[in-house]
């Protein structure tokens, strides 16, 4: 039969296991080392002095420090960094040696649990934007590397949603701090940490290329409105990007078919803006929306884009209409193609030869570069623009206005695959 005393002893053991007694160890402040994971340091020396005044008035450190053992006689602080600094100030600056030893509880925990405790110790601390960013970054690391330490609801799903749920922060805010953490240069991050750059400015900087971030910091620009202004002035596409886009978007063809660019903005928005159009050539990438065009991640409005086109790719003025004398010469040169039917209908019995213009006869006379060339040789020597100009220059108005005659003439010049014959 079990003794009543044994039953009580077992209950005592269970309670002891559930709530182990904590032994307070008095440790000299010089043996307590700062934790590299601590992200909420004292704002300034005045904050430490105020805490030192309270400790001195009380006569002791009321709340124990939480530490973990490093080696034989040194310990790493988990919670209590400011208390340690305050006692150091009392001893070294005020000569109060009775505060040299601080009450500490030595914890034997894993690195993961230690990280949790560092964050927990700062849980009720009013955080600066940098400190909140650091906390989000550390929590993300723990969620990725040690999901088993969290409830099942936080072990799966999109990271931004898990962080939002765990920390009680809006998803958009989490994403903004993630951008700052991942993209902000060290020089800018230091200013963010010191409070010289606000969160809005840090976010704008983080979205800039590294080169421009350095330029902004070197020029001492810290306010968000000034960074935005600098970005607009320096993030526009350059001459090379504009000229490449001029070809990729077919604006050269538009220019050849129109007298001016008055309707170009409307044309570009209608053709590319409504379809989220994307195209690239080498390192130059173009994406379009209804309001903006982005060239290699440099976004500008369509109106501004056309302005830059006028600057880097000015529209060539159209040539003056040909004088009547020149047209008469053209009619003489191609008289054999004129038909009796003025409505472009081919008369019965007419052969292709009778309604086509031999290209040999269209080679300009008196030019050294064309002298002695056959039709095929001369056509092959021209690019597309040259061929277009050549045809429009030498063919008479009667043919240019009649698709049927143009088709007949082209059949004498090119084969079905578009090659000159």
Show which of 72, 91, 117 is a domain's final residue: 117
User: What is residue 50's predicted lDDT score, i.e. its pLDDT?
Assistant: 86
Question: Based on the domain organization, do 290 and 373 belong to the same domain?
Answer: no
Q: Can you list the pairs that 140-145 forms with residues at least 24 positions away whose Cβ atoms lie under 8 Å?
A: 140/178, 142/112, 142/115, 142/116, 145/112
Residues 8 and 14: their CA atoms lie apart, in Å, by: 10
Question: Based on the domain organization, do 200 and 259 belong to the same domain?
Answer: no
Question: Based on the domain organization, do 31 and 79 belong to the same domain?
Answer: yes
Residues 90 and 98: their CA atoms lie apart, in Å, by: 9
130 assigned to some structural domain: no
Bin 63: left if φ > 0, else alpha if -120 < ψ < 50, else beta. beta
Question: Based on the domain organization, do 198 and 257 belong to the same domain?
Answer: no
259 assigned to some structural domain: yes
User: What is residue 391's predicted lDDT score, i.e. its pLDDT?
Assistant: 65
User: What is residue 374's predicted lDDT score, i.e. its pLDDT?
Assistant: 56
Question: Based on the domain organization, do 32 and 103 belong to the same domain?
Answer: yes
Range of the domain at 36: 20-117
Burial of 72 (0-12, 13-18, 19+ CB in 10 A): exposed
Q: Alpha carbon of 220 to those of 217, 259, 304, 395: distances in Å?
A: 5, 48, 28, 65
122 assigned to some structural domain: no
150 assigned to some structural domain: no
Of 225, 180, 226, 224, give the one whose Cα is nearest residue 206: 180
86 assigned to some structural domain: yes
Total of domains in the chain: 4
Show which of 117, 136, 164 is a domain's final residue: 117
Question: Based on the domain organization, do 226 and 270 belong to the same domain?
Answer: no
Residues 56 and 93: their CA atoms lie apart, in Å, by: 13
Question: Based on the domain organization, do 258 and 191 belong to the same domain?
Answer: no
Q: Which residues of the chain have pLDDT under 70?
A: 1-21, 39-41, 43, 121-125, 317-403, 406-407, 409-421
> Any alpha helices (H) in 298-415, and if so which ranges?
302-312, 324-333, 375-380, 384-394, 397-400, 403-411
Strand (E) positions, 247-362? Answer: 278-281, 284-288, 292-295, 298-301
**Start-to-end C-alpha separation, the chain:** 117
Question: Based on the domain organization, do 29 and 101 belong to the same domain?
Answer: yes
Of 260, 319, 321, 271, give the one whose Cα is nearest residue 293: 271
Question: Based on the domain organization, do 204 and 273 belong to the same domain?
Answer: no
Q: What is the pTM of this model?
A: 0.43
263 assigned to some structural domain: yes
Output the domain CATH number for residue 106.
3.90.1530.10
156 assigned to some structural domain: no
Residue 357 · residue 334 · CB < 8 Å: yes
Residues 136 and 284: their CA atoms lie apart, in Å, by: 35
Question: Based on the domain organization, do 82 and 25 belong to the same domain?
Answer: yes
Show which of 220, 235, 250 is a domain's final residue: 235
User: What is residue 339's predicted lDDT score, i.e. its pLDDT?
Assistant: 45
Question: Based on the domain organization, do 361 and 295 belong to the same domain?
Answer: no
Residue 184 · residue 192 · CB < 8 Å: yes
341 assigned to some structural domain: yes
Q: Which helix (H) or strand (E) holds 264?
A: helix 264-271
Question: Based on the domain organization, do 90 and 67 belong to the same domain?
Answer: yes
């Amino acid at each position: 039969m079990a003794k009543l005393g044994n039953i009580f002893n077992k209950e005592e053991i269970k309670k002891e296991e559930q709530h182990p007694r904590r032994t307070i160890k008095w440790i000299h402040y010089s043996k307590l080392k700062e934790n590299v994971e601590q992200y909420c340091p004292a704002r300034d020396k005045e904050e430490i002095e105020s805490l030192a005044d309270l400790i001195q008035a009380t006569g002791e450190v009321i709340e124990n420090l939480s530490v973990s053992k490093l080696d034989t006689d040194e310990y790493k602080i988990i919670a209590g960094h400011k208390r340690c600094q305050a006692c150091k100030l009392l001893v070294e600056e005020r000569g109060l040696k009775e505060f040299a030893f601080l009450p500490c509880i030595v914890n034997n925990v894993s690195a993961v649990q230690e990280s949790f405790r560092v964050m927990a110790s700062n849980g009720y601390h009013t955080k600066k934007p940098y400190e909140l960013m650091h906390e989000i970054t550390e929590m993300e690391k723990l969620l990725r590397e040690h999901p088993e330490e969290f409830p099942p609801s936080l072990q799966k799903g999109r990271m931004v949603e898990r962080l939002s749920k765990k920390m009680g922060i809006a998803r958009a805010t989490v994403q903004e701090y993630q951008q700052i953490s991942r993209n902000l240069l060290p020089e800018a991050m230091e200013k963010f940490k010191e409070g010289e750059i606000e969160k809005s400015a840090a976010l704008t900087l983080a979205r800039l290329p590294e080169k421009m971030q350095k330029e902004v910091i070197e020029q001492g620009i810290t306010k968000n409105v000034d960074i935005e202004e600098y970005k607009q002035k320096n993030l526009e596409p350059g001459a090379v990007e504009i000229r490449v886009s001029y070809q990729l978007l077919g604006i050269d063809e538009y220019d050849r078919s129109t007298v001016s660019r008055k309707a170009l903005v409307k044309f570009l928005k209608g053709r590319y803006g409504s379809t989220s159009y994307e195209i690239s050539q080498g390192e130059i990438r173009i994406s379009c929306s209804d309001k903006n065009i982005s060239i290699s991640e440099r976004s500008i409005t369509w109106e501004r884009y056309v302005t830059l086109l006028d600057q880097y790719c000015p529209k060539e003025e159209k040539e003056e209409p040909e004088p009547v004398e020149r047209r008469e010469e053209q009619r003489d040169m191609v008289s054999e193609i004129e038909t009796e039917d003025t409505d472009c209908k081919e008369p019965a019995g007419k052969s292709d030869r009778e309604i086509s213009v031999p290209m040999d006869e269209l080679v300009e006379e008196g030019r050294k570069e064309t002298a002695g060339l056959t039709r095929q040789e001369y056509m092959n020597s021209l690019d597309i623009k040259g061929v277009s100009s050549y045809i429009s220059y030498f063919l008479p108005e009667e043919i240019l206005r009649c698709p049927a005659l143009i088709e007949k003439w082209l059949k004498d010049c090119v084969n079905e695959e578009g090659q000159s014959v």
